[in-house]
Chain A
Amino acid sequence: ETGVTQTPRHLVMGMTNKKSLKCEQHLGHNAMYWYKQSAKKPLELMFVYNFKEQTENNSVPSRFSPECPNSSHLFLHLHTLQPEDSALYLCASSQDRASGRRDTQYFGPGTRLTVL
């Protein structure tokens, strides 16, 4: 496998379900990101991990819980979601420098989530 992979590609869940999205990068990068892309809205950055440490949480509701066990894997745990959480969830990775400058981000194919 190369690049950034995400599973599942499609997910339908009820509001009371618990599910997890998985992202894996095979690029040797040290930073990983979760984005939310809703219809007709700009890309929204949700979380940033750098060397497995969460460096940013952009006021994301607690029903979204990220986990980064190592620099290659990133999870997004979902529970008690709302219908408005239906969106395309994109994972990205980058080789960030020690200076903190954001290097080129490479994206996975996304998980299209539908909350009923």
Chain B
Amino acid sequence: AQKVTQAQTEISVVEKEDVTLDCVYETRDTTYYLFWYKQPPSGELVFLIRRNSFDEQNEISGRYSWNFQKSTSSFNFTITASQVVDSAVYFCALSEASNYGQNFVFGPGTRLSVLP
């Protein structure tokens, strides 16, 4: 069965620090998709990135970067030079390709607080 673990429940950092949010997943499929979402205090989940299981290249988008390692079943998310506006709950999610009707499985989320 699918499973997503985000071991860090809450993280606090001071502005301008780098922070890494961990995500470990379990799946039996060879083809699957990984996602990160941000949920600011307003409540809306904002899509950040989707990565398929065949693309292990790391990705950088501004201050955000993602490290996908199939060998350790991890898809970690790093924010460089964090800002107060980065304060939110971040969710990692997994979607398998093979099973019809198989939905997203969300991790429990990591609450990030960036202090000024």
A interface list, Cβ under 8 A from B = 33, 42-43, 45, 48, 55-56, 88, 90, 92, 99-102, 104-110, 112
Q: Select from chain A the residue with minimum beta-carbon distance to B32.
A: A101
Q: Is there an interface contact between B43 and A110, defined as CB atoms closer than 8 Å?
A: yes
> Which 7 pairs between the two chains have the least Cβ-Cβ distance?
A100-B100, A107-B45, A110-B43, A109-B44, A102-B95, A43-B106, A101-B97
A92: which B residues are within 8 A, CB to CB? 45
Q: A42-B108, A42-B109, A43-B91 are in contact. Are A102 and B102 (CB under 8 A)?
A: yes
Q: Is there an interface contact between A112 and B43, defined as CB atoms closer than 8 Å?
A: yes
A92 to B104, CA, bound (A): 11
A31 to B100, CA, bound (A): 13
Q: Select from chain B the residue with minimum beta-carbon distance to A111.
A: B43
B50 within 8 A of A: yes
Which single member of B42, B104, B107 contacts A102 (CB below 8 Å)?
A: B104
Which single member of A48, A56, A90, A100 contacts B45 (CB below 8 Å)?
A: A90
B interface, by DSSP: helix, strand, loop or mixed?
Answer: loop
Q: A43-B106, A109-B42 are in contact. Are A104 and B47 (CB under 8 A)?
A: yes
Task: State how many angstroms separate the Cβ of A50 from the closest Cβ of chain B.
Answer: 9
Q: Select from chain A the residue with minimum beta-carbon distance to B100.
A: A100
Q: Is there an interface contact between A110 and B44, defined as CB atoms closer than 8 Å?
A: yes
B99 within 8 A of A: yes
Question: What 7 additional pairs, Cβ within 8 angstroms, besides A33-B103, A90-B45, A110-B44?
Answer: A42-B108, A48-B103, A101-B97, A102-B102, A104-B35, A109-B44, A112-B43
B50: which A residues are within 8 A, CB to CB? 104
0 or 1 for each of B39-52: is its CB under 8 Å from A? (1 = yes): 00011111100100
Q: A43-B91, A43-B106, A45-B104 are in contact. Are A100 and B44 (CB under 8 A)?
A: no
B101 within 8 A of A: yes
Within 8 A of A (CB), among B50-66: 50
Which single member of B42, B46, B95 contacts A101 (CB below 8 Å)?
A: B95
